[in-house]
Amino acid sequence: MKAITSAWQHRQLVFEMTRREILARYQGSWLGLFWTLLTPILLLFVYMFVFGVVFKARWPEINGVTPNFSSLLFCGIIVHMFFAEVLSAASSLVLDQANYVKKVVFPLDILSWISLGEAAFHFLVAVLVLFGVVIVSGGGLSWTVLYVPLLMLIFMVHLLGMSWFVSACGVYIRDVKYVAGFMVTAMVFLSPVFYPASAVPDSFAMVMNANPLTFYIEAFRSAVVLGQPVPLAELAWAMVLALLSFAVGFWFFERVKKGFADVL
């Protein structure tokens, strides 16, 4: 497939630009890359205070056992953070790199690979923090954590397709960045970040299941916190949707990128 071939041919460029973007984000700060580790931990403390102390939220019992609230909450936080970082960057990805559009030899499609790589680095660190939270809370890690690499791969494929599609739309429709900003905020509450998907009333269950973040949040909770295998049927369906997102996103990007230079 052309999308894979292009990324492989320019793999060194993708790696170096991704590395540059990660280092540039924290350049000049006192803590540097340590912020990658500190940010999700601070968010966890904030959400734990708001929902655990102020609202006194509690997770429903599972098989007669009350699971650790902080670990389950953290799963939702990091999955949403990954989604939010990719979507926010995609809304103005090509616009912010307008100088590359004028260069005929530059492969514009790798911009999404670079953006995804940067977000994936932060997500990987957050997942390692999640492992630590689960261990410290006394739950321990089960063999089901072996699902994590596969879940991350499928999620990245899905987000990459979304990035291509949104970044292409952002060139022609400048309102996309405002829509993306709204979606990032809305998806915090429309996704099962602070609550289990099972808590949603049956009348809204179809809407919740249509949310792509629902599967990934619940799957990470099952594999990392609850020690339960991810249902194969749901995993297979997520793979199909991810590949569809990847294919449609790249096809759309390739179809419309010829007009980028005229618009910019």
- Tens of pLDDT, residue by residue over 208-241, are 888 989 999 999 999 998 889 999 999 999 999 9
DSSP H helices, the chain, are 2-9, 11-25, 34-47, 69-90, 98-101, 110-136, 147-172, 176-190, 205-210, 212-220, 232-256, 260-263
Give ∠ CA 107-248-17 in degrees, rounded to 5. Answer: 30
Nearby residues of 1 by Cβ (< 8 Å), 6 or more positions away: 247, 250
Nearby residues of 190 by Cβ (< 8 Å), 6 or more positions away: 211
> By three-state DSSP, how is residue 25 classified?
helix
Helices 110-136 and 2-9 sit at what angle, rounded to 10 degrees? 90
Closest CA to 137 of 75, 53, 218, 225: 225
pLDDT 10s digits, 136-186: 877 788 999 999 999 999 999 999 999 999 999 999 998 999 999 999 999
Token readout for 17 is: 């630009």
Q: Mean pLDDT over residues 67-84, rounded?
A: 88
Domain holding 102, by residue range, is: 2-263
What total number of domains does the chain contain?
1
Q: What is the mean pLDDT of the chain?
A: 88
Q: How many CB atoms lie within 10 A of CB 230?
A: 20
What is the per-residue pLDDT for 62? 62
Q: Mean pLDDT over residues 47-62, rounded?
A: 72
Q: Which of 127-141, 150-164, 182-196, 197-211 has the highest mean pLDDT?
A: 150-164
Q: Is the Cα torsion angle 168, 26, 21, 96 positive or negative in sign?
A: positive
Strand partners, 65: 62
What is the per-residue pLDDT for 55? 66
The answer to whether the CB of 211 falls within 8 A of the CB of 241 is: no
More confident residue, 133 or 249: 249
Closest CA to 226 of 59, 49, 77, 78: 59
Q: How many CB atoms lie within 10 A of CB 171?
A: 23
What is the per-residue pLDDT for 179? 94
